[in-house]
Amino acid sequence: MRELLALTLANVWRWRLRAIFTLATLVVAFTVLGLMLPIERVFNMGVKVANADRLIVANKASLMQSLPQRYQERIASVPGVASVVRYAFFGAFYQEPTNGVLALATDPKEFVALMPEMKFPSPKELQDWYEDPTSIAVGRTLADKNGWKVGDMVPLYSVLYPRKDGGNSWTFRIATIFDGRDANSNTQSLMLHFRYFDDMRAYGQGSVGWFNVRVADARQADAVAQAIDTLFANAGSATHSATEEAFTQEFMRQVGNFSLMVVLALTAVFFTLVLVVANSLSESVNSRLPEFALLRTLGFRGRTLASLVLAENLLLCLAGGGAGALLAVGAIPLLRRYSEMLASIGFWWQDLAWALGLLVAVALLTSLAPAWRVWRSPLAANLGRTA
Amino acid sequence: MKHDQPAVELVGLVKAYGRGAALVPVLDNLSMTVRRGEFVAIMGPSGSGKTSLLNLMGGLDRPDAGQVRIDGRALDGMTDTELADWRARSVGFVFQFYNLIPVLSALDNVALPLTLSCPGAAERRARASAALELVGLSHRLGHRPQMMSGGEQQRVAIARAIVAGPGLLLCDEPTGDLDRRSGEQVLALLRLLVQRSGTTIVMVTHDAHAAATADRIVRVDKGALAADAIDRGLETHHA
């Protein structure tokens, strides 16, 4: 079969310009696909990690509007509420304004109790964080991105909160670095002591960004959320409560239905690919019908020649699509490094499986008509079209 | 070596192309026989049905009526797959424009038919080399068709046609695209095949000089055998 392999390889590269354009289309399409899937995963990560037994209670007007701290006790008194943790958005960057850091002020012990999906390396480090109000706990992704380690002193510039003693620069000591319990866990943030933050900030004392509420029974989450909102319906700051999942989905809807956009984009890419590859292959096969007819006169069966067409197309698709997928895999670390929003982007083998499946589908779909033509077209008539 | 047994038997062949008012009759109740080891030239004006006749003999096309028997076996009962297998074993083709695969070397072109019957790559290369040596092209093994003259390309095509050892060689204007000298080389080669290995050759040609190389000349006109079939040293043999 060496001769047939040589023939297949030679035919793929026979009309170089056409092959290059088709390959380029495949490379671009599969680079896009290879990046879209992980990006879509990042956008949906929040939804997937959201716990059904946790509520977010925010200002009804906007997440950017604060709530009074005193709400915490009243929320805790609502039947069905197991615990309440307060949060404030610190709004910081590290070294460069472009290097934003997701820093949240919260109460360490309550945070750890509320977030079982976060894994802390040792009780000693955790204790250290609890006891030192100027210390912080940093997520692994964020620490790795900035090259931080336990014990480092980290100066952060808060664009929202100047210190009482002047200046927007806050320096914290890293007490611990936490990991996620699984690949979906978000470790792009850092946590600082709410009490310290509240004491030291120049304004805003007594206010929080939002509350995170654990309900005793996840099945009652919606009812508890409604009870909380009812409680503050006529207060100075009305609340909007929802499960983490619903809250994240609401937020995602504001950004746009990214999953739908991905599906639409991939569908467009797929059909464009099918048209481009089918056109290229049809022209290639059409111009070689006399050669296929000759091979049939030599005794090659129609289905063998149809298989050659499929093999040729599969080779082209795998070369172009494979290169595109590898480019995407190579680009993922760059995205992680240079895009704060995509800091948790990662490569999954299932993406490659998707790409491979799509490649085979494109190859099969676009080979059908040309392969059928090679198999069934009148032999003598095609042979007459000599080169 | 010649035998009395018929290699090719054509009985009452009818073939037309097109439909309805556009129907063009090509062969009209044509019958003829070619004996084993015989070299027969078929001559006739353009459109007389010569190439159609050759296509029917090679199982490249099917008659509307009549029967084609090669070595006693009727082709009309064979499926497309059986015909393909039969062609691989029993018949070689040489065309006017060589029909070589341009992206393959001479050696790979000649070895192509062997991929169907000969599993060993080394043996295929050896047999293809031997076939190219027979046609005087052992120095051109690695050359692609476009690097060779027309005469050389036609000799590669002949090597490809005979490499699997078919008993029947069908040649459609094999010298039609060649200069006189190259044409004579090709004809001498065909003659040599008949003498050395007893191959049966049916050659369609316009060229009276080329036809003169054959044992017998059969004239076809308007889809039927003309009366003036010429036997050169053998008995006249047409139905």
**Number of neighbouring beta carbons within 10 Å of residue B13:** 25
In a 3-state reduction of DSSP, which class is residue B61? coil
Cβ-based contacts under 8 A for chains A and B:
80
Q: Which residues pair with B40 in a beta bridge?
A: B202, B216
For chain A, the residue count is 387
The beta-carbon neighbor of B95 closest among A14, A378, A386 is A386
Residues B44, B74: contact at Cβ < 8 Å?
A: no
**B95·A4 Cβ contact <8 A:** no
Computed over every residue of chain A, the mean pLDDT equals 87
Structure pTM? 0.67
* pLDDT (average), residues A359-371: 93
pLDDT tens readout for residues A233-264 = 998 899 999 888 777 767 666 656 677 777 88
The beta-carbon neighbor of B80 closest among A11, A302, A384 is A302
Residues B124, A3: contact at Cβ < 8 Å?
A: yes
pLDDT tens readout for residues B188-222 = 999 999 998 899 999 999 889 999 999 999 999 88
Distance from CA of B23 to the nearest CA of A (A): 16
The CA-atom distances, in angstroms, between A57 and each of A68, B81, B197 are 12, 74, 96
**A379·B60 Cβ contact <8 A:** yes
pLDDT tens readout for residues A124-148 = 999 999 999 999 999 998 999 899 9
ipTM summary value: 0.88
What's the pLDDT score for residue B228? Answer: 53
d(CA A27, CA A334): 18
Rg of chain A taking only CA atoms, in angstroms: 30
**Number of neighbouring beta carbons within 10 Å of residue B95:** 25
Distance from CA of B35 to the nearest CA of A (A): 22
Closest CA to A160 of A89, A240, A67: A89
Which A residues 163-192 touch B at CB under 8 Å?
none
The beta-carbon neighbor of A300 closest among B111, B116, B160 is B116
What's the pLDDT score for residue A99? Answer: 86
With contacts defined as CB-CB under 8 Å, which chain B residues touch A302? 80-81, 84
Q: Which residues pair with B234 in a beta bridge?
A: none
d(CA B225, CA B220): 5
Closest CA to A290 of A366, A363, A373: A373
A302 interfaces chain B, CB cutoff of 8 Å: yes
- In tens digits, chain B (239 residues) has pLDDT values of 445 789 999 999 999 988 777 888 899 999 999 999 999 999 998 888 898 999 999 999 999 999 999 999 999 889 989 999 999 999 999 998 899 999 999 999 999 999 888 778 899 999 999 999 989 999 999 999 999 999 999 999 999 999 999 999 999 999 988 888 889 999 999 999 999 889 999 999 988 999 999 999 999 988 888 855 555 544 434 33
**Number of neighbouring beta carbons within 10 Å of residue B144:** 17
Distance from CA of A16 to the nearest CA of B (A): 13
**B87·A14 Cβ contact <8 A:** no
With contacts defined as CB-CB under 8 Å, which chain A residues touch B58? 297
With contacts defined as CB-CB under 8 Å, which chain A residues touch B81? 301-302
CA angle B137, B198, B227 (to 5 degrees): 110
